[in-house]
């Protein structure tokens, strides 16, 4: 019995962590967030480490690793607030296309970083006002909001009935405009379709479920990493900042905030590991666990990132320290692919406790 990361997973963790620490530090993230640079360079660096093809099977040109490996990478991307199309191109798109066994020919070029596949699943999760899609004779019309990756070459688009279509980003009738969100480390866009050619990837809600579960665990791991970094920064700052002739880390009020962050976050690490393991190995629990994990991590992530900001006092609120990147990353993850309330309802349905 071994509940934890294997030595190979620890090596993967070390090499990705080294790359992100050295090549994508906060200064670089700030440039991308300000629109002065794109995530292409860092994605290409991650490609050298094999990251885009992590979950793509060897037959399809990838590494064929496990969901736990992907969670390890997501956690680090969250820790370093790295802009990247990992969740869409490397996690959700391969999950959907491999589960449906459709258009797997595209995945080889995803693994080499040449192709990026965005995810426009909002309709399938919970249609909001302002959007809406119709499909008529293989042609897509309407609109998707908050599609992941404004630089993708293709999009997987879900309808409200959880059918998944593939559209080419350059297809005629498709227009795309970037959407500003609180989290400038993430790239999202609005897709407008006017009779756009769409290729059916799946009409099986189970394929949608599998891809969504994979995305939920990945976002949970991202929040885990972002929260861990916010906590680490709070402990470091409290150990340096002096008031009343003492470092503020010696005040119980501050220590207890830090202890509460640890208490919230530490079990989350095990929960993310288990949920990732369940995606591959315990199918009967995977949807319940993925939903619960994303909902729980969203609550803990919100608490940790706000509390870390409070520990920093006024500096935490400024752009100087940049702590807001972590706060916003967790805030973005919380709403994307289902807010905590919607996901707890999904967890209840997965156990037959709700209709």
Partner 1 sequence: MDLSFGAGYDEFRAEVQQFIAASSDKSPKQSGMGNAEAIAWQKLLIENGYAARTIPREYGGFGAEPDIIKSRIIAEEFSKAEINTGLGGQGISMLTPVLLEMGTEEQKQQFIKPTIHGEMIWCQGYSEPGAGSDLASLTTKAELDGDEWVINGQKIWTSTAHLADWIFCLVRTEPEAPKHQGISFLLFSMDTPGIEVRPLVDMTDAANFNEVFFTDVRVPKDQIVGQRGQGWQVANAILGHERGSLAPPDAALSRLNGVIKLMNSESVNGERVIDKPVFRDRLMKIQGRVLAMKCNDMRLLSASINKNQDAKLAGMVVKLLGTELRHELEALAVDVMGEIGIAYGDNPHLRGNGSWQYQYMFYLGLIIGGGTSQIQKNIISERGLGMPREPKPAAKANAS
Among 44, 161, 243, 270, binds partner 1 (CB under 8 A): 270
> Does 126 participate in binding partner 1 (rule CB under 8 A)?
no
Instruction: Name the maximum alpha-carbon separation found in the chain.
Output: 73
Among 8, 105, 194, 260, binds partner 1 (CB under 8 A): 260
Residues of span 196-255 touching partner 1 by CB under 8 A = 235, 238-239, 246-247, 249-252, 254-255
As measured in angstroms, the least distance from the Cβ of 343 to partner 1 is 9
CA atoms of 189 and 206, how far apart (whole Å): 26
Among 199, 256, 283, 318, binds partner 1 (CB under 8 A): 256
Give the Cβ contact number of residue 27 at 10 Å.
Answer: 8
Among 143, 163, 186, 292, binds partner 1 (CB under 8 A): 292
CA atoms of 122 and 147, how far apart (whole Å): 7
Using the rule CB under 8 A, give the single segment among 114-122, 125-133, 211-219, 295-303 that binds partner 1.
295-303
Using the rule CB under 8 A, give the single segment among 72-80, 97-105, 270-278, 316-324 that binds partner 1.
270-278
Task: Give me the 15-44 binding string for partner 1, x by CB under 8 A, dash otherwise.
Answer: ------------------------------
Q: How many residues are present in the chain?
A: 355
Its sign, for the CA torsion 13, 338, 355, 203, is negative
CA atoms of 291 and 294, how far apart (whole Å): 5
Classify residue 62 by burial, with Cβ atoms within 10 Å: 0-12, 13-18, 19+. buried
Q: What are phi and psi of 193, to 5 degrees?
A: -115, 130
Nearest residue (CB) to partner 1, 186 versus 277: 277
CA atoms of 288 and 348, how far apart (whole Å): 8
Nearest residue (CB) to partner 1, 273 versus 332: 273
As measured in angstroms, the least distance from the Cβ of 212 to partner 1 is 17
Among 26, 101, 182, 262, binds partner 1 (CB under 8 A): 262
Among 114, 263, 310, 315, binds partner 1 (CB under 8 A): 263
Task: Give me the 63-92 binding string for partner 1, x by CB under 8 A, dash otherwise.
Answer: -----x------------------------
As measured in angstroms, the least distance from the Cβ of 144 to partner 1 is 28
As measured in angstroms, the least distance from the Cβ of 274 to partner 1 is 4
Q: What are phi and psi of 81, to 5 degrees?
A: 40, 50
Task: Give me the 325-354 binding string for partner 1, x by CB under 8 A, dash otherwise.
Answer: ----------------x--xx-xx----xx
Nearest to 293 by CA among 312, 269, 323: 269
Residue pair 117/89 in contact (Cβ under 8 Å)? The answer is: yes
Q: What are phi and psi of 227, to 5 degrees?
A: -70, -40
CA dihedral 263, 264, 270, 273 (to 10 degrees): -150
Is residue 335 within a helix (H) or strand (E), and if so which, with residue range?
helix 324-335
User: Which spans of this chain sit near partner 1 (rule: CB under 8 A)?
Assistant: 1-6, 68, 235, 238-239, 246-247, 249-252, 254-256, 258-260, 262-263, 266-271, 273-274, 277, 281, 289, 292-293, 295-296, 299, 341, 344-345, 347-348, 353-354
């Amino acid at each position: 019995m071994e509940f934890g990361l294997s030595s190979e997973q620890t090596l993967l963790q070390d090499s990705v962590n080294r790359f992100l620490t050295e090549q994508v530090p906060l200064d670089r993230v700030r440039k991308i967030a300000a629109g002065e640079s794109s995530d292409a360079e860092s994605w290409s660096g991650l490609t050298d480490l094999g990251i885009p093809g992590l979950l793509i099977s060897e037959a399809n040109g990838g590494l064929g690793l496990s969901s736990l490996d992907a969670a390890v990478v997501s956690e680090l991307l969250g820790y370093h607030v790295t802009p990247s199309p990992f969740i869409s191109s490397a996690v959700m798109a391969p999950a959907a296309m491999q589960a449906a066994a459709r258009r797997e020919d595209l995945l080889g070029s995803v693994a080499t970083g040449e192709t990026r596949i965005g995810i426009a699943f909002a309709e399938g999760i919970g249609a909001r006002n302002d959007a809406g899609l119709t499909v008529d004779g293989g042609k897509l019309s309407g609109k998707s909001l908050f599609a992941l990756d404004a630089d993708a070459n293709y999009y997987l688009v879900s309808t409200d009935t959880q059918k998944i279509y593939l559209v080419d980003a350059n297809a005629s009738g498709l227009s795309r405009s970037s959407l500003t969100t609180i989290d400038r480390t993430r790239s999202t866009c609005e897709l407008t379709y006017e009779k756009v050619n769409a290729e059916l990837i799946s009409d099986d809600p189970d394929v949608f479920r599998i891809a969504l579960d994979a995305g939920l665990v990945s976002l949970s791991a991202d929040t885990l990493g972002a929260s861990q970094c916010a906590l680490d920064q709070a402990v470091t700052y409290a150990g340096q900042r002096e008031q009343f002739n003492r470092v503020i880390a010696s005040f119980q009020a501050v220590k207890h905030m830090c202890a509460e962050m640890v208490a919230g976050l530490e079990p989350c690490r095990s929960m993310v590991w288990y949920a990732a393991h369940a995606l591959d190995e315990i199918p009967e629990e995977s949807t319940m666990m993925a939903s619960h994990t994303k909902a729980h991590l969203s609550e803990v992530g919100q608490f940790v990132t706000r509390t870390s900001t409070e520990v920093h006092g006024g500096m935490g609120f400024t752009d100087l320290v940049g702590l807001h990147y972590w706060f916003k990353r967790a805030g973005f993850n919380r709403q994307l692919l289902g807010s905590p309330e919607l996901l707890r309802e999904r967890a209840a349905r997965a156990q037959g406790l709700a209709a």
